[in-house]
Structure 1
């Protein structure tokens, strides 16, 4: 889980890349403020959600594999007068990537915006569930969201560049993103990001790979995990998952 694709240049424009996504912020802030103890955000990135959680008064930590994203987060936290407790680490082995005592520490661990899909192999996926379970107190919860694979969308957009305009270091650039299957039997998708100036010159490019997680695979992972119960919703408004939903939101609970 090291090919995250978010180096210094991509970290600098991450907020612009995700500007259209804000429906999850209130959801995770609500979950964090309702927790009885400390919370941990996996794949905390540049703090898009974490900083609002921290600002709400929650005792919140964060972990991410990209040191460049964490540098952006710390700068943004300082600008808002917040004291961020974040470290570089891998969600498959939370205890092994920090000197903090985290076993049995958190009332809530959450992983937003499809980040769990960076765990591509079944071994890595199971390791995340087990690592999170160990980090939770009795009765603690693991909450995450992943997209519902939409085959019409995949057919229409995969393999084609999807452009958007972003600000990079004070000037307008085009960010192009292309997703395509590189291992169909194992359902591994490569996501390419290419940053170009207005003359069409490539300024920077990165890529990373993810594994889509359809409902039945997540349920199998939950059944094989140490968690005692789980629930899934269709989106962030609390309704049951049903046909046509774009997001599946899972809550797994450690026995009290």
Structure 2
């Protein structure tokens, strides 16, 4: 089960053309690795990289919404050539503290439309980030963009959580996903538009509390499959997580693989 569902922090509300995504500012990018520390743990990261490395083979691989390089850097350390697309320049600036542009080239742009030269054996999108695209049309374009970058036989992989809508009792407006000493997080949903907002309250070591939020559009697995079909991709595998556990009606997340 994923605990930190969405990228968080104080958001700059200025949006780049042709995208509905929230834009990460410098302050949010500086805090990202610390706020998402559990996602960097070997227990989380090693199965992720193992899974992707098996699919990439000899590569190359392309990560959409590459962020600060949480997955790309250890994947590149396996000898796979990794490139990325990222909307936020401040996030890439943090990646550059860990890897050069020669080691991991990144195109600044929208993952639904930006183009990276070449074809790839693997395109992947992790940590629920496809939900950052807040319209169905942009999400469809993202699948098409992934397919555009794939060599024949290549695979597109996404990691995505299952919306916790079944936990809504009548009249409830939010679903908590993490309640701990340092962090309280909950999601609010509009079940007509499939729009949602993740709310995060964090307490630092000095006892100060900060609030951050991020907006998203949730997608069901069946809707993902339809988007994939529109992009001429075929479902090859769906599991509950990077460890390969079976996907069932009770699963709270999925890792899905489509092949070109």
Short-chain TM bin: 0.7 to 0.9
Counterpart in the other structure of 1:188: 195
Aligned-partner SS, 1:217: helix
Task: For residues 103-148 of structure 1, give each alpha carbon's deviation from its aligned partner in whole angstroms, at most 9, with x where no partner exists.
Answer: xx10100101101111222211110111110100010000111001
After alignment, is 232-241 or 205-214 more displaced? 205-214
With the length of structure 2 as denominator, give the TM-score of the two structures.
0.77
State the alpha-carbon separation in 2 of the partners of residues 159 and 239 from structure 1.
25
State the alpha-carbon separation in 1 of the partners of residues 135 and 244 from structure 2.
29
Residues 230 and 157 of structure 1, relative CA distance in 2, 3 Å threshold: farther
Counterpart in the other structure of 1:130: 144
Kindly report which structure 2 residues correspond to 1:205-244, keeping only aligned pairs within 5 A, or say none: 206-244=212-250
After alignment, is 113-122 or 218-227 more displaced? 218-227
Counterpart in the other structure of 2:9: none
Aligned-partner SS, 2:97: helix
State the alpha-carbon separation in 2 of the partners of residues 2 and 185 from structure 1.
18
Kindly report which structure 2 residues correspond to 1:159-198, keeping only aligned pairs within 5 A, or say none: 177-181=185-189, 183-193=190-200, 198=206
| CA apart distance, 1:200 | 4.3
State the alpha-carbon separation in 1 of the partners of residues 107 and 33 from structure 2.
20
Aligned residues: 235
Residues 59 and 185 of structure 1, relative CA distance in 2, 3 Å threshold: same
Kindly report which structure 2 residues correspond to 1:1-256, keeping only aligned pairs within 5 A, or say none: 1-21=19-39, 22=41, 23-30=43-50, 31-32=52-53, 34-77=56-99, 83-95=103-115, 100-102=116-118, 105-151=119-165, 158=174, 177-181=185-189, 183-193=190-200, 198=206, 200=208, 206-254=212-260
Structure 1 unaligned spans of 5+: 166-173
Aligned-partner SS, 2:38: coil
Structure 2 unaligned spans of 5+: 1-18
State the alpha-carbon separation in 2 of the partners of residues 161 and 109 from structure 1.
28
- Could you say what the CA RMSD is over the residues aligned between the two structures, in angstroms? 2.9
| CA apart distance, 1:178 | 4.4
In 1, are the aligned partners of 2:67 and 2:86 still within 8 Å (CA)?
yes
State the alpha-carbon separation in 2 of the partners of residues 162 and 222 from structure 1.
31
Aligned-partner SS, 1:231: strand
Aligned-partner SS, 1:51: helix
In 2, are the aligned partners of 1:38 and 1:58 still within 8 Å (CA)?
yes
Aligned-partner SS, 2:46: helix
